[in-house]
A and B are shown apart, each in its own frame.
Chain A
Amino acid sequence: MNGHRTLSATGLSALRKVVGERGVRSDSIAKTAYESDGFMLQREAPEVIVLPRTTEEAAAAIKILRAEGLVVVPRGAGTGLTGGARPVRGGAIVGTARMRDILEIHEVDRFARVQAGVVNVHLSGACKDAGLFYAPDPSSQTACTVGGNVGNNSGGPHCFKYGTTTRHVLGMTLVDSEGEIHHVGGALPDPHGLDFVGPLVGSEGMLGLCTEVTVRLLPEPECVETLLVLFKSLNACCDAVSEMIARRLEPSAIEILDRLTIEAVEASVLRAGYPADADAVMLVEVEGGEEEVAATSSDIEAVTKEFGAFETRRTTDPVERKKLWAGRKGAFGAMGRIAPDLYVADVVAPRTKLREIVKVAAEACAARDLKLSNVFHAGDGNLHPNISYDRRDPDEVKRVLEAGRIIMEACVAAGGSLTGEHGVGLEKQGEMCLVFNDDDLGAMHDLRRTFDPHSFWNPGKMMPVRGCREIEAAPLGHGTDAAASEAPQR
């Protein structure tokens, strides 16, 4: 059996019986829509798309797909940026687009139980009246789903203070490759025993299908202040962040946007009032009690002045704050003004080495005549060097991938890592050997087999199939021939 298996008419009919006519798509238009996620460089259409409404429907559908010999790629909104939510070769996509119910919000116990397809921003909206919020806030939060965030252990600007998704997931419901339903974790804040929730978060859909999630909610802070700090130099801006971390200042978010990003944002409908004469903008948010916010904001203002900030705007007004953040959250969309396509790198460096990696990225792109813009979750050391390109130009695509690889290698050499919040997927599969050796990956394979002994879930992703010793430097996406080597077993 391999990913090329086709769905029989009997199987198609059985799926329709389980999830309804609208829950099964196998027409060419739907297949085209699902042939990639946000990583547009590679595409592969699924054999069928199944959209269950409940955990029980999902479990029944999985049993049918397994019997049909099809592998399954779980998918949320498809906003991922590494190719993780599209097939390597055939198979089915099981999406959570019709699983959008918020099942429970518990004000005293501070948790919510939601279906996996709930859109991230809708969850915080739903618990606002209870004075609570859900902390992970990826830039795609108006589209991405809680289940997708679980799959990628997603982050966002405010993860500097609150941590990525893994620190907010208390439990989940998981469908395994036999179509069995498992309830993992629960609402208990600090359960004992083996922690299965931990490895399931960030597992990129390779250990099962997450259909419901129980997440921790946090009390809304008493006061929030946003600071827009302007610099004439991107390097000085990076150094100011390193110094803020060294002085143990604790804002909830520290973001940096460079000049090209500022220009793109200001030229777009998301215009946030970022001044055109700044080479870099630092966007900082401070949350907590009123006195704490005032003291921390003043300290941040002082540090940034020491490093050459020429202007600081501070606001606690919710409307103004929202406008400042709209520019940051819409930065990736605004890049569409520069070129038709955008390669969003996602790498992590030690927070003392931000400037070093920015320099490497700039040189790698300049040497290849590529347009680079930078947006960072600077407080976490999570950089997003963004390269604008046109995918219709094969030579430019090649240069983009070369630059991306150089940036990854530089981060790893500096003590950093391949991905801070987007995951490995297909894009960085070959580069896993920059970070891990064969024994490390062997242990990860063992973990995978614990949950998925049949290689049924999202085969061909994240893990290099050949040993690291065998993988030589190769263009991105060509480090493995994963689907063929990782054929599922029945």
Chain B
Amino acid sequence: MSASPTPLESLGLRPVDGPFGTTWHPGSDQALRDALLEGAASGTPMAPLGAGSSVRGCRVRQAAGEAPATWVSTRSLIPSGSSGIIEYVPGDGTITAYAGTPWSDLRAAVHEGGHRLTPAIHGDATLGGVIAAGRSGLDRCAFGPLRHHVLGLRVMDGTGRIARSGGRLVKNVTGFDLHRVHTGAAGTLGVILEASLRLMPIPESETLIESEPLGTPAAAVRAALSVRSHPGISTRSLFTVGSSVVVQLAGRRAQVETERRRVLELLTPKTEIAGPDATDRCLELGSTAPAIRIQCRPSNVADIVELCVGANELHGLLRVEPDAALVDLAPDAVQHLHGDFWTQAAPAIREAGGLVELRMRTPKGASAFIDATPIPHTEWSARLLSAFDPGNVLRIPR
């Protein structure tokens, strides 16, 4: 005699075991709606899941004592026989797809039409997951953060209501920009079902320069800032890894060559890669998910880096984007942090205007800094959550 179906099975969701435990796959928007309503009624938290790449990146955390969330996949919402792409119009430079569509599939499709996606990321992330996680890429210094490229969304909130905002157009100010709130909200205000993105042209030429080490991470950051402030250099990506500077240039062929020469007046190259491989190498060097991210300003990023390093052996474990003023500490860096990092360096970083964000399970001694992570306008946040998820079902475990 077979076991009686679980409530979600009886609603038509299919359980699939995976690295995050059981993930439930709704076959339609209606099944997803039923599941969310069932979750609200039974007090079972649910969390939308794309490919889980942000979970692996320690972005989503499980707090002790909290009921485990039921993962609900958005990948099964792609209609049978569909690639997931709803519309790609090369002449418009936009793409619209179901949220569960793999980013790599989107990337391949738009490449055919001469376009690129931003952020330029590899791996098995999904469109909805990238947007929910608010994953900007290394090219943010050229194109801006991800939220500038999300043109519109279709989202199911915790009440099962499906609402659209924005659209498929590169310019559109009709109605409130609700899609901006959902971008980076980690699915707490709704499950992203469909998204439209602005696309970037594939450049005629691109090149990547990795400098020889400059002695210290702070020296590398200062060198990177000199590249940033050069009026004749416009970088596609610019960051430091340890004490080396990485510069990616892209655009018209003659311009890239001119700017390459200007960069080489400022940096001694260790490696140079030209052509499409430049982007792949850039991602290899700069895409490690951080355990700790510090946000500051370009004007104080070098000082913040010095505070981070202090007496800690972090040389190869720091990645810094000077233009976005982001200081990332790799997961291995946490093991190298001395106890006084949290008692002395971190408060000094805060004093200098840096904001510390933890992106993995709480390191020992860091608990005070969970509160230091900015959660702005809690009254507005509470009202938003109450409006879009009154049953408190969309709870990402943290």
- Which chain A residues have a beta carbon within 8 Å of chain B's beta carbons? 106, 108-110, 131, 152-153, 155, 159, 163-164, 166-167, 182, 184, 187-199, 201-203, 219-220, 222, 242, 245-246, 248, 250, 288-292, 294-296, 348, 350-352, 377, 380-382, 415-424, 428, 432, 435-436, 439-444, 446-451, 453, 462
Query: Which of A131, A222, A352, A380 contacts B91, CB < 8 Å?
Result: A352
Query: Which of B145, B162, B296 contacts A439, CB < 8 Å?
Result: B162
B108 CB within 8 Å of chain A: no
Whether A152 pairs with B92 at a CB distance below 8 angstroms is: no
Whether A442 pairs with B173 at a CB distance below 8 angstroms is: no
Query: Chain A nearest CB: distance from B115 CB in Å?
Result: 7
Whether A198 pairs with B181 at a CB distance below 8 angstroms is: yes
Whether B134 pairs with A449 at a CB distance below 8 angstroms is: no
Query: Which of B136, B180, B374 contacts A193, CB < 8 Å?
Result: B374
Would A199 and B252 be within 8 Å (CB), given that A250-B201, A381-B169, A418-B174 are in contact?
A: no
B342 CB within 8 Å of chain A: no
B343 CB within 8 Å of chain A: no
Q: What residues on B are CB-neighbors of A110 within 8 Å?
A: 298
Whether B91 pairs with A246 at a CB distance below 8 angstroms is: yes
In the complex, which residue of chain A has the Cβ closest to the Cβ of B164?
A440
Whether A296 pairs with B171 at a CB distance below 8 angstroms is: no
Whether A295 pairs with B175 at a CB distance below 8 angstroms is: no
Whether B376 pairs with A184 at a CB distance below 8 angstroms is: yes
In the complex, which residue of chain B has the Cβ closest to the Cβ of A444?
B176
B397 CB within 8 Å of chain A: no
Q: What residues on B are CB-neighbors of A440 within 8 Å?
A: 163-165, 175
Query: Which of A219, A422, A423, A450 contacts B384, CB < 8 Å?
Result: A450
Would A194 and B299 be within 8 Å (CB), given that A348-B171, A432-B175, A442-B161 are in contact?
A: no
Whether B176 pairs with A202 at a CB distance below 8 angstroms is: yes
Segment among B11-19, B48-56, B98-106, B254-262 that sits at the interface with chain A? B254-262
B172 CB within 8 Å of chain A: yes
Q: What residues on A are CB-neighbors of B229 within 8 Å?
A: 108
Whether A190 pairs with B324 at a CB distance below 8 angstroms is: yes
Q: How many residues of B contact A (CB 8 A)?
A: 75
In the complex, which residue of chain A has the Cβ closest to the Cβ of B354?
A188
In the complex, which residue of chain B has the Cβ closest to the Cβ of A436?
B175
Bound state CA distance, A351 and B170, in angstroms? 9
Q: What residues on B are CB-neighbors of A189 within 8 Å?
A: 140, 145, 323-325
List 8 contacting pairs A-B, 8 Å CB cutoff, sorted by A: A166-B177, A195-B180, A198-B177, A291-B252, A350-B168, A421-B173, A447-B387, A448-B176
In the complex, which residue of chain B has the Cβ closest to the Cβ of A351?
B92
B44 CB within 8 Å of chain A: no
Bound state CA distance, A202 and B171, in angstroms? 12
Top 4 closest A-B pairs, CB basis?
Answer: A198-B180, A248-B201, A443-B163, A291-B254
B365 CB within 8 Å of chain A: no
Whether A194 pairs with B181 at a CB distance below 8 angstroms is: yes
Bound state CA distance, A428 and B171, in angstroms? 17
Q: What residues on B are CB-neighbors of A462 within 8 Å?
A: 175
Query: Which of B165, B258, B299 contacts A291, CB < 8 Å?
Result: B258
Whether B176 pairs with A194 at a CB distance below 8 angstroms is: no
Whether B255 pairs with A450 at a CB distance below 8 angstroms is: no
Bound state CA distance, A167 and B185, in angstroms? 18
Query: Which of B92, B177, B253, B254 contacts A199, CB < 8 Å?
Result: B177
In the complex, which residue of chain B has the Cβ closest to the Cβ of A167?
B148
Taking A417-B167, A442-B161, A443-B178 as given, write out 8 further A-B residue pairs in contact, using a Cβ cutoff of 8 Å, ordered by the A residue number: A109-B299, A166-B148, A192-B184, A295-B255, A424-B175, A435-B174, A444-B165, A447-B384
Q: What residues on B are CB-neighbors of A202 within 8 Å?
A: 173, 176-177
Chain B, range 93-140, C-beta contacts under 8 Å to A: 93, 114-115, 134, 136, 140
B157 CB within 8 Å of chain A: yes
Q: What residues on A are CB-neighbors of B288 within 8 Å?
A: none
Whether A164 pairs with B174 at a CB distance below 8 angstroms is: no
Please indicate which of the listed interface residues A248, A381, A435, A439 has the most CB atoms of chain B within 10 Å of its own CB: A248
Q: Per-position contact with A for B327-356: 1 when CB-CB < 8 Å, else 0?
A: 000000000000000000000000000010
Whether B258 pairs with A439 at a CB distance below 8 angstroms is: no
Query: Chain B nearest CB: distance from A225 CB in Å?
Result: 13
Would A109 and B255 be within 8 Å (CB), given that A443-B157, A444-B165 are in contact?
A: no
Q: Per-position contact with A for B178-217: 1 when CB-CB < 8 Å, else 0?
A: 1111011100000000000000011000000000000000
Q: What residues on B are CB-neighbors of A245 within 8 Å?
A: 91-93
Whether A193 pairs with B163 at a CB distance below 8 angstroms is: no
Chain B, range 222-249, C-beta contacts under 8 Å to A: 229, 231-232, 234
Whether B91 pairs with A351 at a CB distance below 8 angstroms is: yes
B297 CB within 8 Å of chain A: yes
Whether A196 pairs with B92 at a CB distance below 8 angstroms is: no
In the complex, which residue of chain B has the Cβ closest to the Cβ of A250?
B201
Query: Which of A164, A190, A220, A450 contacts B171, CB < 8 Å?
Result: A164
Query: Which of A188, A250, A423, A439 contacts B173, CB < 8 Å?
Result: A423
Query: Chain A nearest CB: distance from B376 CB in Å?
Result: 6
Please indicate which of the listed interface residues B157, B161, B172, B202 has the most CB atoms of chain A within 10 Å of its own CB: B172
Whether A108 pairs with B252 at a CB distance below 8 angstroms is: no
Bound state CA distance, A222 and B136, in angstroms? 27
Whether B258 pairs with A194 at a CB distance below 8 angstroms is: no
Q: What residues on A are CB-neighbors of B90 within 8 Å?
A: 246
Q: What residues on A are CB-neighbors of B251 within 8 Å?
A: 288-289, 292
Bound state CA distance, A167 and B198, in angstroms? 13
Q: Per-position contact with A for B138-157: 1 when CB-CB < 8 Å, else 0?
A: 00100011011000000101
Bound state CA distance, A288 and B384, in angstroms? 42
Query: Chain A nearest CB: distance from B388 CB in Å?
Result: 7
Would A193 and B184 be within 8 Å (CB), given that A167-B144, A288-B251 are in contact?
A: yes
B361 CB within 8 Å of chain A: no
B357 CB within 8 Å of chain A: yes
Whether A415 pairs with B168 at a CB distance below 8 angstroms is: yes
Bound state CA distance, A193 and B144, in angstroms? 16
B377 CB within 8 Å of chain A: yes
In the complex, which residue of chain A has the Cβ closest to the Cβ of B171?
A380
B279 CB within 8 Å of chain A: no
Q: What residues on A are CB-neighbors of B136 within 8 Å?
A: 190
Q: What residues on B are CB-neighbors of A420 within 8 Å?
A: 169, 171-173
